[in-house]
Amino acid sequence: MYLKVIFTKEMGLFNKKVKEEVETEDISGLPELPQLPELPEFEDTDEYSNEKLAQLPSFPDSNIGRKFSQNSIKEAVTGKKEDEEVETDEFAENEMQTMRKPRIKEELKKSPSFSQVSRTKPKEAEPLFIRIDKFEEGSHKFEEVKRKTAEIEKMFANLKNIKENEDKELKSFEEEIRQIKEKIEIIDNNVFSKIE
């Protein structure tokens, strides 16, 4: 018995299809498969009959569509998303001729490890060298800032005093106006109310 395999490739921009026929060796000389033991029959239960089956989406009939379809079927059956990414390019010729072993995900059995935080020793106080001209310039600027801050504090205190004095004068003016209005009302009530 001979096995004939036909590969179809799409080439280039204009999708010219090329067929390759490969004949393999005679496989009739292989030994027969061993007989498996029979499994006991289980009773039919309606355990899964009440569950609604998930509706599978339809994908276009292409290599990518088939892979998406396979992944969506796996997701519907297992309820988990597949971690593998779908490859969009076709198999290379070398990969077609030889079969690769399926990739098996290895689970990490190690417990999580935490790296130790290294503590650095604080540096010992070392002498600090500053140029004299830079030191003098810095001290002059520092003194100038102190002087300006004192001036601002004095001006702020003066403004505060002026505002307090103005508030006192405004209150006294308001009081005088109130007293004048009261006197005008008294005169109006006493003199002009009798005229009518």
Cα torsion through 190, 191, 193, 196, rounded to 10: 150
Distance of alpha carbon 134 from alpha carbon 140, whole angstroms: 10
The boundaries of the domain holding residue 160 are 130-196
- Higher-pLDDT residue of 125 and 131 is 131
Structure-token pair, residue 114: 């935490």
168: pLDDT strictly greater than 80: yes
pLDDT band at 88 (very low <50, low <70, confident <90, very high): very low
Distance of alpha carbon 89 from alpha carbon 71, whole angstroms: 17
Domain membership of residue 91 (yes or no) is no
97: pLDDT strictly greater than 70: no
> Which residues make beta-bridge pairs with 6?
21
149: pLDDT strictly greater than 50: yes
Domain membership of residue 171 (yes or no) is yes
Domain membership of residue 34 (yes or no) is no
Q: Of the given ranges (53-57, 92-96, 100-104, 118-122), which has the lowest mean pLDDT?
A: 92-96
Cα torsion through 163, 165, 168, 170, rounded to 10: -70
Domain membership of residue 139 (yes or no) is yes
The pLDDT of residue 130 is 79
Number of domains making up the chain: 1
Query: CB-based contacts of 175: which residues, under 8 Å, 6+ apart?
Result: none
Domain membership of residue 59 (yes or no) is no
Domain membership of residue 185 (yes or no) is yes
